[in-house]
Structure 1
Amino acid sequence: MTLVYITDQIYLHGGIERVLANKVNYFVNELNYEVHIITTEQKNNIPCYEIDSKVILHDLAINYNRNKSYFNPLNLIKVPKHYLSLKRKIKAIKPNVIVVCNFAFDFYFIPFVYPEIAKIKEFHSSRHFFHQKRLENKSLFTNFFNKINDYIESKYHCLVLLTTDEKKYYKSNNLLVIPNSIDKHLGKIANTGNSKKVISAGRIAPVKGFEKLINAWSLVAQKHPDWVLDIYGFGEKEYIKSLENLISSLNINDKIVLCGSTNNINEKMLDSAIYVMTSETECFPMVLLEAMSNGLPIVSFDCPNGPRNIFTNNVDGILVEQNNIKAFANAIINLIEAPEKRIFFGKNGHNSIEKFNTNKIMNCWRNLFIDVSSFKFKDYS
């Protein structure tokens, strides 16, 4: 079996990059597949997560300007080169299956390149807000664009979603749900009963809601000034600056640390007591699985379709009403003041992620690759 994965880059820390690295390493080592990753803007950077040397990397060096819309003229003029370069590369590789990970121009033309090759589109984010906007915006242009989008999706042999909740947002009948995978850490787990650190991690962008987390922490710090919040991740400079200004305005500079990105997030989690998340939207946040594998209890906003599919409220964490900052702060305070509950939730979470066992999840992918490469069409809905 020869696979091609297509994405924009694999040098920036993120959920897609982490999941992709885990998958390709498994496929080349456990299933002996030939696996290629084709990027459009790797820019000579090394992958941010370890990728086995048996995985073959290709970069087309299209280098779209990501500060502008894909439909900006400066990006549109690069589309022909992108199309022709990708088509030549696929012809040379001759894969059985192509998997599209990101959402760029290649999403639109891949279904029509080499029809004898099976194509899969992975979706890594929730369509909740997109669906809401689609219902609200009835303009002719928007309806036309949405119909094109639906048509393109129907031309993939399979669309892979992360949760069953997401299926209602799609018009196609070529849907399959395969969650992300993770294995339990069999060695150390976090010393949640003794640590006085709370941790959060992710791309530093408005969608992650870190300003809400900072406002909530200002309330926590009033009751527990000896506790510290560490936030890990890279991101948008202007947004980071606004977070720094917010921290200063709340006079909690010594209570919150913006730590930047790290390659050792597991070690940081092991040194923490609670994991927290205040995202506006998530689909299947890998970082929650990582926190649970390290034995951390979770406090998270109940954002659409994400956290509730990973952990259970009052069993291995606390789900808080979306955007309720005071309730979020109280949930953290509740766990700070109940170390036995932190330990209980952490152990439950560590055990519950067995349902996302790597061998189990990768076997789903293996079966899908066999089906689509044999052009055994199914109604996956």
Structure 2
Amino acid sequence: MKLLYIITNISGAGGMERILLLKSGYLAEHYSYDIHILITNPVDVPIHYKIHEGIKLHTIAPIKSNTLSYYISYKKLINEAVTEITPDVVIMCDNGLKSFLLPFIIKRKLPLVYERHVTKYKKEKPDKSRLASLFKDNIKSIFMDFCAKRYHKFIAVTTDGAQEWESKNVEVIPNPLWLITDKSADLQSKRLISIGRHDYQKGYDRLFVIWKRIVEKYPDWQLDIYGSSNSAYDIMSMAKKQGITTGINFYNPVADIESVYRNASGCLMASRYEGFGMVLLEAAACGVPSVAFDCPVGPKDIITNGKDGFLIKDGDVKAFVSAVGKLIEDEELRKEIGRNAKQKAKNFAIEPIMEKWDNLFKSLVKN
């Protein structure tokens, strides 16, 4: 069977890029799928993750002079690619608004799957006007719900994510865990980590408010932040404005992220929203306890509060600080939660999850 995945690019070090390459490589190797990936917004950046040798990459470059010309060009190039590749199923992995137009773009009658990796209510910057934002969000929601129903299957990666959509074609298939290791962090270092690109979504401004209180009480502890920098969202300057000059370190994404987890004693996530929260699952696989805001959507599917991590009411800085303090002060609690987290991570083994995908594709082609 031939599959065509459509994504903006695969060059980043983000979770969606990693998961797409993991799943497509697994399907190629274990199920003998013929995998094609169409990149719609190519960037001149090296691909961060390994690509299975059986995967074929294609790129298109739509005209970007204005919205109308972009759409016309995008539609033309998508159809040309579909005609050339002749897939049995097309899977959209773009989180942008244009992804909802695919059912109206493709001329051939093909099974179409939308794989949604973020909450329906994502925002890329703060609202200037709450009233205007509510109006805009409602219009977007109506548009997205209308278009989502035109896909043959709409896949959410979390149960909360699925409940955001008013459509009968929604199904939950979680992301599989890529990091498989028998080793666990010893949780002895005075080092906490936070991993994610530098942008509004990841909530570093919230994290710095938290960390300022932590480092004042526990000055011998360090926070290591790993993620791609962004000149439009300078988190280093943000930290300085919060008065944080010590106890914090910034690093670019690294290939050996497992070592980062295994040298940490805790993982912090202050995101405003997620699609899944792969960082929490990676930390769990290494036996590292996490503290995360209960943001939409994802953390709730990975963390059971107080058992295998701490899930904090979204925006409750005081409770977040308290949970981090408990982990810092109580080594036995760190170890207990770390053990439980590692056990929880086994629920996301790749084999049964990819079997679900295989069954889905076969049923779509059959019907």
TM-score, normalised by the number of residues in structure 1: 0.88
Partner amino acid, structure 2, of 1:157: H
Work out the number of aligned pairs and report it: 361
Please state how far the C-alpha of 1:188 moved relative to its aligned partner. 2.2
**Residue of structure 2 aligned with 1:273, choices 256, 265, 269:** 265
1:333 partnered with 2:345 = no
1:163 partnered with 2:158 = yes
Give 1:180-195 correspondences, 5 Å limit: 180-182=175-177, 185-192=180-187, 194-195=188-189
Please state how far the C-alpha of 1:317 moved relative to its aligned partner. 0.8
**Residue of structure 1 aligned with 2:174, choices 175, 179, 203:** 179
**Residue of structure 2 aligned with 1:211, choices 200, 205, 210:** 205
CA RMSD, Structure 1 to Structure 2 (Å)? 2.4
Cα distance between partner residues in 1 of 2:308 and 2:15: 22
Cα distance between partner residues in 2 of 1:328 and 1:167: 27
Partner amino acid, structure 2, of 1:166: G
Q: Deviations over 1:183-237 (max 9, x none)?
A: 5633321121x11110001121112111111121111112211110001111431
Partner amino acid, structure 2, of 1:174: N
Cα distance between partner residues in 2 of 1:216 and 1:89: 48
Cα distance between partner residues in 1 of 2:23 and 2:298: 21
Cα distance between partner residues in 2 of 1:322 and 1:163: 17
Alignment match, 1:105: 98
Cα distance between partner residues in 1 of 2:324 and 2:282: 19
Alignment match, 2:10: 10
| Identity within the alignment, % | 31
Cα distance between partner residues in 1 of 2:237 and 2:98: 37
Cα distance between partner residues in 2 of 1:140 and 1:209: 24
Please state how far the C-alpha of 1:360 moved relative to its aligned partner. 0.8
SS in 1 for 2:66: helix
CA contact (8 A) 2:75 2:105 kept: no
Cα distance between partner residues in 2 of 1:330 and 1:344: 18
CA contact (8 A) 2:63 2:73 kept: no
SS in 1 for 2:4: strand
Unpaired stretches in structure 1, ≥5 consecutive residues: 65-72, 376-381
Alignment match, 2:309: 317
Please state how far the C-alpha of 1:15 moved relative to its aligned partner. 1.7
SS in 2 for 1:78: helix
Unpaired stretches in structure 2, ≥5 consecutive residues: none
Give 1:270-309 correspondences, 5 Å limit: 270-309=262-301
Please state how far the C-alpha of 1:308 moved relative to its aligned partner. 1.2
**Shift in CA distance, 255/141, structure 1 to aligned 2, threshold 3 Å:** closer
**Residue of structure 1 aligned with 2:248, choices 232, 256, 259:** 256
TM-score, normalised by the number of residues in structure 2: 0.91
Give 1:3-82 correspondences, 5 Å limit: 3-62=3-62, 64=64, 74-82=66-74
Please state how far the C-alpha of 1:92 moved relative to its aligned partner. 1.4
CA contact (8 A) 1:4 1:97 kept: yes
Instruction: Please say which of residues 364-373 and 177-186 is displaced more in the overlay.
Output: 177-186
1:121 partnered with 2:87 = no
**Residue of structure 1 aligned with 2:232, choices 235, 238, 241:** 238
